[in-house]
Structure 1
Amino acid sequence: MKLGYQTNTWGGVIGHPAGVTSVKDAYYLANGSTEKAITEIAEVGFEGVEIFDGNLIQYEAETENLSVVLKKNNVKLVGVYSGANFIYKEILPDELNKIKAVAKLASLFGAEHLVVGGGGIRTTGPQKDDYLLLAEGLDKVVKIAEEFNLVASYHPHLGTLCQFPEQLDILMPLTKINLCPDTAHLVAGGGDALAIVKKYIDRIKYIHLKDYREGVFLPLGEGQIDIQSIIKVLKDAMYEGWLIVELDAYDIPKKGAEISYRYLKDLI
């Protein structure tokens, strides 16, 4: 197993402001220096990085700049994280075009994974057909990923159609996309992260790890989640992919990365 880290800890999670009025620009964005994040992640010892779609697309016209940073620090761009509502038919083409542009750019840097979250929640709450619409959209994401030699995975997330474990169980039989569990989001949504990883182990090609306690996302080993048992399940299943630590925010980002790195190195 290989160890990677998400750059979003540096600057925290925001959205691109243009996305408020333009769906095609509705990117995730970390409001910090991507170059500093990559440098400090490498200094800690991680081999790879994952990046938000909005931060990646900033390099669309200057790809060499990101290539230099990655090469200088001897780290790999492992994956890119994107998302969409998926349930509104009129805007779906714009959402998918955005994801396609990001997938194309990620592939230029040799990325392996395309991760998406989403499934919008209507004002009136989730509707029965919304899961079908989400599944159809995710299957289109799979095709986009395949076009660019990426592996597509769905990330259950608070504030989406799959924030609760029973909602995930509705969705997964409807789509062929892989599952990217996020250990903390699963627990925050009332689920048992270990049980969910066991249940869907055959569809896990990529995973996000972070700890959780009393409503707070934490570095690994500082919360209530049995990360050790989750790693054992992955080992038993001969999982040889990436373990991506994805901690949305931490006062001193590099320190948070160091805590999680030491924890994982002791386990694997």
Structure 2
Amino acid sequence: MWKICLGINGWSAGKNDLGIYEFHDPIELILDHAVEMKYDGVEIVDLSIDPYPSNLRDINEINKFKKKYFSRNLKIAGVQAKILRWGANADEGKRMLCAKSIVDNVIFAKELGADYLAIWPDEKQADINDWVVAQRILDTLRKTFNLLQEENINLENLNIVEETEPVECFSNLTIAKTVVNDINNPNFKILFDTAHINLLSNGGYIRKIKEFKGKIGHIHLADNDGTRWNSSKTLGTSSKHLIIGEGDINIMEILGALKDTNYTGWIQIDCWQNPNPFRCSEVNKKVVDAIICDLQEGVYQL
């Protein structure tokens, strides 16, 4: 029904990255865990334990980078982009630089054979009107697509997805809906994170799946109890990402709604900022596998 990937971002809270936790597990151990748990692929992120090439257009460096994944028969489902985060900046020149960095990441993602490129182009603009933020993001995206056209880069089946998240420029669903509708490009869609959407919609996640039907390009799946992850660390005020059963989200209903709205993309098991990403990824994968089995057998109907 769907392919399931492990989010390597679950380990980005380690001591040499965000510094929230003390873990510093080697990338090889994490990938072996993904193989053992029978994940179909992984969603990668630029980490100290596995940094992206300094030049995202260098084919030789890209080939070296991907060898550890391909040798384990793990598909790189998606790439969390390493970009200049000026997508909602007042300076048009900085928005152009953001767009250029997105294009570099597109090339990187295509060389890796990824199905989607996830972008976080700017932080939340708390002191700026939402309409202004939406227009700036739209400008950055239009610049991006124009640059891709100028370089004759065909996205083909690669989707660019942007996440609605409390601490990001897509800090509410109105901005997200305005941008995705106005850009009106089949290769630009929403990254639907169940924890973030649960928080932002006050539990109305099923309604939002239906509202964004056809506009969802990727799923980050985690439980949430309607609260933020409280920390003084970077991004510490984003929504909690919990092990399934620790929060208020009905994962069966989520997956049932995705089936009913004909979602066909990847589902990423998201262990973002979880204190034990190995356990989180194992428990959540087993639960999701069981639910998918029930859906395929018609045990559950929404």
TM range (shorter): 0.7 to 0.9
- Residue 58 (structure 1) aligned to one of 41, 44, 53: 53
- Aligned counterparts of 1:38 and 1:237: Cα–Cα separation in 2: 32
The residue that corresponds to 1:250 in the other structure is: 274
Q: CA deviation at 1:210?
A: 1.2
The question of whether the paired residues in 1 share the 8 Å contact of 2:96 and 2:143 is answered with no
Say if 1:81 and 1:115, in contact at 8 Å, map to a contact too.
Answer: yes
In the other structure, the counterpart of 1:34 is 27
**1:53: how far off?**
4.8
Matching residue's letter, 1:12: A
Distance 2:93 2:15 in 1: 25
Label 1:212 to 1:14 Cα distance change in 2 as closer, same or farther (>3 A): farther
**Contact 2:218–2:265 (8 Å) recurs in 1:** yes
- Corresponding letter in the other structure for 1:110: G
Of residues 2-11 and 93-102 in structure 1, the stretch that sits farther from structure 2 once superposed is 93-102
- C-alpha offsets along residues 3-58 of structure 1, whole Å, 9 cap, x if unaligned? 111101124279989xxxxxxxxxxxx97643332222222111111112565623
Contact 2:66 2:112 survives alignment (8 Å): yes
Deviation at 1:161, TM superposition (A): 2.9
Structure 2 unpaired stretches of 5+: 229-239, 293-302
**Partner of residue 261, structure 1:** 285
Which one has a larger percent strand, Structure 1 or Structure 2? 1
Larger Rg, first or second structure (1 or 2): 2
Q: C-alpha distance in 1, partners of 2:113/2:44? A: 13
Give the drift of 1:230.
1.6
Query: Which residue is equivalent to 2:235?
Result: none
Is contact 1:142-1:152 (8 Å) kept?
Answer: no
* Counterpart-to-counterpart distance in 2, 1:120 and 1:193: 23
**Deviates most, 118-127 or 178-187:** 118-127
The residue type equivalent to 1:151 in the other structure is: N
Correspondent of 1:147 among 154, 161, 170: 154
Query: Which letter maps to 1:164?
Result: N
- CA distance in 2 between counterparts of 1:16 and 1:95 reads 22
Look up the equivalent residue of 2:244 and give its one-letter code: L
Cα 1:168–1:56 change in 2 (3 A) is same
- Relative distance call for 1:44 and 1:59 in structure 2 (3 A) is farther
Per-residue CA distance 1:219-260 (angstroms, 9 max, x = gap): 233311122112112212333321112221223321111011
Structure 2 partner of 1:91:
94
Match of 2:232 in 1: none
If each structure's helix is expressed as a fraction of its own residues, which one has the higher value? 1
1:223 aligns with one of 223, 244, 247: 247
Q: Structure 1: how far apart are the matches of 2:112 and 2:159?
A: 15
Aligned equivalent of 1:205: 217
SS of match in other structure, 1:68: helix
Give per-residue Cα distances to partners, 1:166-220, cap 9 Å, x unaligned: 3334433322221121111112224422211111111123211111124331123
What SS does the aligned partner of 2:224 have? strand
Q: Distance in 1 between matches of 2:198 and 2:16?
A: 24
In structure 1, C-alpha distance between the alignment counterparts of 2:286 and 2:277, rounded to whole Å: 15
User: More displaced, 139-148 or 40-49?
Assistant: 139-148
Aligned-residue identity in percent: 19
**Aligned match for 1:172, one of 176, 180, 185:** 180
Q: 1:159 aligns with which of 148, 162, 167?
A: 167
Match of 1:24 in 2: none
What is the one-letter code of the residue matched to 1:85?
W
C-alpha contact 1:154 1:179 (8 A) present in aligned 2: yes
Change (3 A) 1:226 1:108: same
Deviations 1:108-161 (A, max 9, x none): 121111111244444633353221121232344456496343111221112123
Preserved contact between residue 47 and residue 75 of structure 1 (Cα < 8 Å): yes
Aligned alpha-carbon RMSD (Å): 2.9
The count of aligned residue pairs is 256
* In 2: Cα distance, 1:220 partner to 1:86 partner: 33
